[in-house]
């Protein structure tokens, strides 16, 4: 969950009980909002996000890709049915 956004510096912050991490959005960052392409302007406080990032040599975190919105829940596929046994 995004806890802060800095549009000027193109960063967003994710805070948790364990840590606070600031991610930099660059021209290389791919942002998706649903099935459509998004932009830095689409990232907002309290937005659910997922994605991946690089840790740069200076310790900063650069977003590789950002997916906005709730994480998709994978639906379990039904167990295959056992073949019918012929009745005698």
For the chain, list the domains and their CATH numbers: 2-68 (2.40.50)
Q: Tens digit of pLDDT for each residue in 39-77?
A: 999 999 999 999 999 999 999 999 999 999 987 665 555
pTM for this model (two decimals): 0.78
pLDDT at 33 over 60: yes
What local confidence, expressed as pLDDT, does residue 17 receive? 92
Q: What is the mean pLDDT of residues 33-40?
A: 94
3-state secondary structure 16-56: CCCCEEEEECCCCCEEEECCEECCHHHCCCCCCEEEEEEEC
Q: What is the mean pLDDT of residues 4-17?
A: 97
């Amino acid at each position: 969950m995004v806890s802060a956004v800095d549009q000027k510096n193109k960063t967003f912050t994710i805070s948790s009980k364990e840590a606070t991490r600031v991610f930099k959005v660059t021209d290389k960052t791919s942002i998706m909002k649903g099935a459509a392409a998004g932009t830095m302007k689409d990232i907002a406080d309290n937005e659910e996000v997922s994605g991946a990032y690089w840790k740069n040599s200076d310790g900063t975190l650069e977003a590789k890709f950002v997916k906005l919105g709730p994480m998709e829940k994978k639906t379990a596929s039904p167990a295959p049915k056992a073949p019918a046994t012929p009745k005698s």
